[in-house]
Chains A and B, each alone.
Chain A
Amino acid sequence: MAAEPNDLELVREVLAGRTEMFELLVRRYQRLVATAALRMGVPRQEIEDVANEVFYKVFRSLNRYEPSHALSTWLYRITVNAALDHRRSRRHDSQSDELPESLAGSGPSALEEAGERQRAALLQEALGRLPEHYRTPLLLTHVEGLSLEEVGRVMNLPEGTIKSRLFRARAQLKEIIRRHYPGLAPEGAFGETA
């Protein structure tokens, strides 16, 4: 059985006119794009639209892809921009999607899950209070697990800038949580030295 073509081979095939090969790329990365969009605050019911838009943009600008960087980094970049555009255009209430509708009659695991979802929704709300240029590096670093170099590439900024934005983002988030969401703070967060 032939080995699966890698990302670069697929990109070259698509650029050479074999458009159908793009489907393989979509299947390979649709989970990454959807998860990143969800974590960037896109409501679950709108993720499909955002993912669709992201892959369409990828297809349209595939000739601008730089093979020296990972395709996933480029996808993150397009996903972040799409999520920000979505956020700007909708200004939706992030709670409506994620808060549990009813907890009556739920078992312990369901309760835990509901609690987790509620916590995530409140976190999204707290993150929504951060300026975009602080929220994005924070999410990419601490939620997506990207390195500073990768975040810099996604945001098209030098590493030093990302580092200083991360410092400020964390400091601001800490203040937001202390003032508005004290229940979200990790154990002993405000007792210890910063």
Chain B
Amino acid sequence: MSGLIRFQRPDDPGAAWADELLRPLRRREADVDVAHSVMLRIAGPAASPAPWALPKPWSQVRWAAAFLGGCAALALLIATAGAMILGGDEGARAAIALTSVAARMTVHGFDHMAGALWVLASAALAFFKGAWIEIDALSPLVRGGALASALAGLASIGVSIIVVSRARRSAPMAQRSGTSLDNGGPA
């Protein structure tokens, strides 16, 4: 039993703990002889022998009978409704009026909903179009800016080269012995 539980949470005392704790319960055993009473109960009139399912042909007959019954009920309903409508029944007329109002309301509701969706879609489309035009118009400016930045970078490199070469020319000359300098630098 202990081998069953491999993982242990911090607050879980573990399987071995539970095994040890519940040992007295494991030692408890009970033996009864209920075979006779169970068999009597099974054989009794109150027991319905559920283990045997209804034979297949009977199931099909039951299904067909239920289906035919349903069809008959539907036909009766339609015939009654037709007779009431044709006979000018007040209740039937009210029901028809109510149904037609409900249908109209449903149609109008869908109509309004479709209209609202169309307006929303048009607004979204116009917004995206505007944004696209904006981006399109700004693109030469962005390109110009990028070109100017590149030229400025090149100019900066040129200036640096000039400055460095001049500085080298004016720098003090050093000899290997390090004693005398032609341009008056420190000895």
B164 close to chain A: CB less than 8 A: no
- The residue on B at minimum CB distance from A49 is B34
- Could you say which of B4, B13, B34, B39 contacts A189, with CB atoms under 8 Å apart? B13
Question: Quick check: B22 and A142 within 8 Å, CB to CB?
Answer: yes
- Could you say which of A19, A61, A173 contacts B42, with CB atoms under 8 Å apart? A19
Question: Quick check: A56 and B42 within 8 Å, CB to CB?
Answer: yes
Question: Chain B residues with Cβ under 8 A from A35's Cβ?
Answer: 28-31
**How many residues on B have C-beta within 8 angstroms of the other chain's C-beta atoms?**
43
- Number of cross-chain contacts by CB at 8 Å: 146
Chain A residues 1 to 39 lying within 8 A of chain B, measured CB to CB, are 14-15, 17, 19-20, 22-23, 26-27, 30-31, 34-35, 37-39
Question: Quick check: A23 and B39 within 8 Å, CB to CB?
Answer: yes
Check A63/B51 contact, CB under 8 A, given A52-B41, A141-B1, A142-B1: yes
Question: Chain B residues with Cβ under 8 A from A60's Cβ?
Answer: 47-48, 50-51
What per-residue 1/0 map shows which CB atoms of A55-81 lie under 8 Å from chain B?
Answer: 110011111000000000000000000
B143 close to chain A: CB less than 8 A: no
Question: Chain A residues with Cβ under 8 A from B13's Cβ?
Answer: 170-171, 174, 189, 194
B56 close to chain A: CB less than 8 A: no
In Å, the complex CA distance between A72 and B25 comes to: 20
Question: Quick check: B22 and A143 within 8 Å, CB to CB?
Answer: yes
**What is the minimal beta-carbon distance from B15 to any residue of chain A, in angstroms?**
7
**What is the minimal beta-carbon distance from B37 to any residue of chain A, in angstroms?**
5
Question: Quick check: A174 and B41 within 8 Å, CB to CB?
Answer: no
Question: Quick check: A15 and B34 within 8 Å, CB to CB?
Answer: no
**What is the minimal beta-carbon distance from A125 to any residue of chain B, in angstroms?**
12
Question: Quick check: B20 and A186 within 8 Å, CB to CB?
Answer: yes
Question: Chain B residues with Cβ under 8 A from A38's Cβ?
Answer: 28-30
Question: Quick check: B17 and A170 within 8 Å, CB to CB?
Answer: yes
Question: Chain B residues with Cβ under 8 A from A186's Cβ?
Answer: 17, 20-21
In Å, the complex CA distance between A180 and B137 comes to: 81
- Could you say which of A63, A141, A142, A174 contacts B53, with CB atoms under 8 Å apart? A63
In Å, the complex CA distance between A141 and B3 comes to: 11
Question: Chain B residues with Cβ under 8 A from A166's Cβ?
Answer: 5
In Å, the complex CA distance between A41 and B52 comes to: 34
Question: Chain A residues with Cβ under 8 A from B20's Cβ?
Answer: 186
B18 close to chain A: CB less than 8 A: yes
- Residues on A lying within 8 angstroms of B by beta carbon are 14-15, 17, 19-20, 22-23, 26-27, 30-31, 34-35, 37-39, 44, 47-48, 51-52, 55-56, 59-63, 116, 119-120, 123-124, 138-139, 141-143, 145, 147-148, 163, 166-167, 170-171, 173-174, 177, 184-186, 189, 194
